[in-house]
Amino acid sequence: MEYQKAAELKGLCNGKIVTEYLCRNGFSELTVDSKKVAVQHKNETSRKEAEDESRLPALEAAYTTILRGLGENTDRQGLLKTPLRAAKAMQFLTKGYHETIFDVLNDAIFDEDHEELVIVKDIDMFSLCEHHLVPFFGKVHIGYLPSKKVVGLSKLARIVEIYSRRLQVQERLTKQIAMAISEALQPVGVAVVIEAAHMCMVMRGVQKMNSRTVTSAMLGVFREDPKAREEFLALTKGGQ
Amino acid sequence: MERSKQKQVNENENENEADSAINGHFDGRVKMPGWSAGGAAGTPSTVPSSSVMESWREERTRSLEDNEMSLPSIAAAYTTILRGLGEDPQRQGLLKTPWRAATAMQFFTKGYQEKIIDVLNDAIFDEDHDEMVIVKDIDMFSMCEHHLVPIFGRVHIGYLPNKRVLGLSKLARIVEIYSRRLQVQERLTKQIAVAITEALQPAGVGVVIEATHMCMVMRGVQKMNSKTVTSTMLGVFREDPKTRDEFLTLIRS
């Protein structure tokens, strides 16, 4: 299978070559900064789950320093175990670094003779702004036009989880989700739209309560054909 | 050292002005004016504030100089955290993140820098008004003291003045001072209510907070739509069900 070949290649050569190979096969007009994508692939498992426990003490000490620096009394009852809880919470919120797309997707790709739009919308997403370490959250809508291969529906949500539970920038998150789906399935087109509220804008800084940031990534036929894009956008807007 | 001097000054203030709220310092119980001890059976005429205020008794306000001095150590702590999470602190997106995160965290706890007295002193007016005054849908952002993750929601405040009214934005400022701290929602509600009581001695105060806790939404049980509602009713709001009803109806509409 083409996908497996790509996976083997990934082991031998660097990510850049693999990405370009897939790009030329699947899409006509794909402006992807392949170097950047390759960097992210290298970061795929920058953290092993087994190491989490051993890193906890350092994180705890850091949080204790932060609490003291803010002028709080770290011996008061409410704060006694806060460094540990905050460290564990932060590890949970960045657990996307543990997992790779391959682990999650490999079993659930099926050959199906379906060539109509498949959309999974209103996927709740929670991520951390990499600039302020403050949450941003919202909804992700994913649509793709399969080309003989469909993926298990929950796997789309799992892809969102893997990439969102990291220190992220919304633009990069959108692109990573789109790229992951296109690499796994080689579909005719992929569309991803994310609408999120950034706490760094709401709770601090400009403090605009109701502002939302919307980013989208359109690959393949969604980029070239305006009608396909319209259909996707119409289907994800309605019923909200 | 500057710090110990500051502490002494605070303690002196505490003794001299037992009636006014200084950043939430009390000498024990808060006296509610004009309410008879023999109200409804079992209704206390004083609010036990020691349990609420105990942890704040040693508190002194943070100054801007304190902020500047502690920034490097907080930023260094954040760099450690980034490394501990498996990220590369040298990559472009993360280069200045420790500083930004440290400044952001200081902003989220800027309630420690302010005192109620500074905010309220000018805006208390004598007005012959004895009907309910409500300020509702005050957006509130706080930090959970257990996980250091945001809490956000809305605060509804109502009070029955007793010859003295408060500038309306001052109610929102009281919310700001107490919410921009490491908080527990129950304590936050009580602190706001007690602060208004101390400042105005009204016939009654009611505070309702409805908030979403990111520590429940983003991690742990992960219940997206759950909200936590807490309320504090003092004075006539506690004793008279009709007043409480009116307040709750008006904030719902």
ipTM value: 0.75
8 A C-beta contact, residue B14 and residue B6: no
Helix A153-164 × helix A170-185 angle, to 10°:
140
Is B146 catalytic? The answer is: yes
Domain boundary among A97, A123, A145: A97
* Total domain count, chain A: 2
Residues contacting A10, CB < 8 A, separation 6+ = A18, A41
For residue A66, give Cα distances in angstroms to A203, B61, B67, B182.
19, 17, 12, 12
Is B156 catalytic? The answer is: no
**Nearest to B45, CA basis, from B236, B247, B248:** B236
Among B55, B84, B87, select the one facing A167 at the smallest CB separation.
B87
Establish if B195 belongs to a structural domain.
yes
CATH code: domain of residue B161: 3.30.1130.10
- A65·B74 Cβ contact <8 A: yes
- Count Cβ atoms below 10 Å from residue A177 Cβ, excluding itself: 25
Note whether A202 contacts B: Cβ–Cβ < 8 A.
Answer: yes
Catalytic residue among B25, B106, B144, B183: B144
Domain boundary among B112, B146, B177: B112
User: pTM for the full model?
Assistant: 0.75
Q: What pLDDT does B63 receive?
A: 86
CATH code: domain of residue A175: 3.30.1130.10
CA distance A72 to B7: 14
| Alpha carbon of A18: minimum distance to chain B alpha carbons (Å) | 23
**Nearest to B157, CA basis, from B201, B85, B99, B209:** B209
Planar angle of CA B171, B117, B211, nearest 5 degrees:
35
Establish if A7 belongs to a structural domain.
no
Establish if A136 belongs to a structural domain.
yes
Establish if B35 belongs to a structural domain.
no
User: What tokens does A6 get?
Assistant: 């790509």
Note whether A71 contacts B: Cβ–Cβ < 8 A.
Answer: yes
Is B144 catalytic? The answer is: yes
Residue B32 is given by DSSP the state P
| CB contacts, 8 Å: A79 with chain B | 145, 182
Q: Where are the beta strands (DSSP E) in chain B?
A: 29-31, 46-48, 124-126, 133-144, 150-160, 164-166, 182-183, 204-213, 228-235
Note whether A94 contacts B: Cβ–Cβ < 8 A.
Answer: yes
Is B129 catalytic? The answer is: no
* Total domain count, chain B: 2
| CB contacts, 8 Å: B215 with chain A | 89
CA distance A17 to A45: 20
CATH code: domain of residue B100: 1.10.286.10
Residue A209 is given by DSSP the state T
Note whether A170 contacts B: Cβ–Cβ < 8 A.
Answer: no
8 A C-beta contact, residue A164 and residue A207: no
**Nearest to B193, CA basis, from B51, B36, B10, B49:** B49
| CB contacts, 8 Å: A65 with chain B | 73-74, 76-77
Establish if A22 belongs to a structural domain.
no
Helix B64-84 × helix A82-93 angle, to 10°:
50
A194 shares its domain with A153: yes
Domain assignment of residue B177, given as a range: 122-251
Catalytic residue among B185, B191, B198, B246: B185
Residue of B nearest to A198 (CA): B150
**Nearest to A177, CA basis, from A223, A227, A238, A219:** A219
Among B58, B71, B93, select the one facing A130 at the smallest CB separation.
B93
Element (H, E) at A150: strand A149-151
For residue A101, give Cα distances in angstroms to A33, A51, A71, A125.
19, 20, 42, 17
- B182·A203 Cβ contact <8 A: no
**Residues B177-220: tens digit of each pLDDT:** 999 999 999 999 999 999 999 999 999 999 999 999 999 999 98
B95 shares its domain with B171: no
CA distance A96 to A43: 10
A77 shares its domain with A112: no
Note whether A13 contacts B: Cβ–Cβ < 8 A.
Answer: no
| Alpha carbon of B106: minimum distance to chain A alpha carbons (Å) | 6
A122 shares its domain with A43: no
Domain boundary among A73, A97, A121: A97
Q: What pLDDT does B10 receive?
A: 41
**Residues A171-205: tens digit of each pLDDT:** 999 999 999 999 999 999 999 999 999 999 999 98
Domain assignment of residue A224, given as a range: 108-236
A119 shares its domain with A156: yes
B103 shares its domain with B171: no
Burial B58-71 (b: 16+ CB within 10 A, else e): ebbbbeeebbeebb
Return mean pLDDT, chain A: 82
| CB contacts, 8 Å: A92 with chain B | 219
Is B185 catalytic? The answer is: yes
All residue ranges of chain A with pLDDT < 70 are: 1-47, 238-240
Residue keyed to tokens 């391959």: A102
User: What tokens does B220 get?
Assistant: 């742990």
Residue of A nearest to B213 (CA): A135
A82 shares its domain with A157: no
A83 shares its domain with A130: no
Is B147 catalytic? The answer is: yes
CATH code: domain of residue A67: 1.10.286.10
Would you say the C-alpha torsion B70, B76, B77, B79 has a positive or negative sign? positive
B107 shares its domain with B202: no
SS3 B49: coil
CA distance A71 to B114: 13
Establish if A5 belongs to a structural domain.
no
Establish if A10 belongs to a structural domain.
no
* Chain A, chain B: beta-carbon pairs less than 8 Å apart: 150
- B104·A94 Cβ contact <8 A: no
User: What tokens does B50 get?
Assistant: 């020691």
All residue ranges of chain B with pLDDT < 70 are: 1-60
B146 shares its domain with B87: no
Among A58, A61, A66, select the one facing B74 at the smallest CB separation.
A66
B74 shares its domain with B189: no
Q: What pLDDT does B118 receive?
A: 83
A74 shares its domain with A112: no
Establish if A29 belongs to a structural domain.
no
Establish if A68 belongs to a structural domain.
yes
CA distance B26 to B45: 16
**Residues A90-124: tens digit of each pLDDT:** 999 999 988 888 888 878 889 988 889 999 999 99
